Amino acid sequence: MMGESMNKKSWTVGMMIPLAVATIVATAPAASAAPVPPTQANGRCSAGSLWTIKAKPDNGRIEVELQVDSNRIGESWTVRITDNGELVSEDTKVTLPPSGSFTVQTLTADRAGVDHFEGVARNTVTDQTCTAQVDL
């Protein structure tokens, strides 16, 4: 009788351990979502210069980078970057050696939903305009 009682206890304890593990696994918080890869777009400006715009997550914020390459050193450009129409960066840049390009980087809040970034760069002498867009 004692042996039968021990077998029932052993079976009961033996079944409780896997059940407890299954419960812990089932109620554990979901793993973090996979990292969001950066998005990038490229194009040509109104007079042939090239633009590249990139957006990527950065510690709960979003890093946006706009690069314009005119192949001419010393040009002055005004630059504005917006996120869903809200201004997040405004600057004046000069194209630098050796490539005759400039880059603007900014960090902005990660707003709910899709972030639609638009970068507009305008050459202050020639009025050449670059309009770059990317969504994240």
Q: Which ranges constitute the DSSP H helices of 1-136?
A: 2-27
Task: Give the number of C-alpha atoms closer than 13 A to the C-alpha of residue 18, restricted to the C-beta side.
Answer: 4
**pLDDT above 90: percentage of residues in the chain:** 72
All structural domains of the chain with their residue ranges: 1-31, 39-135
pLDDT tens per residue across span 24-37? 444 444 445 667 78
Q: Are the C-beta atoms of 95 and 79 separated by less than 8 Å? A: no
39-135 carries CATH number 2.60.40.10: yes
CA distance 32 to 41: 27
Enter the pTM of the model.
0.74
pLDDT tens per residue across span 37-84? 889 999 999 999 999 999 999 999 999 999 999 999 999 999 999 999
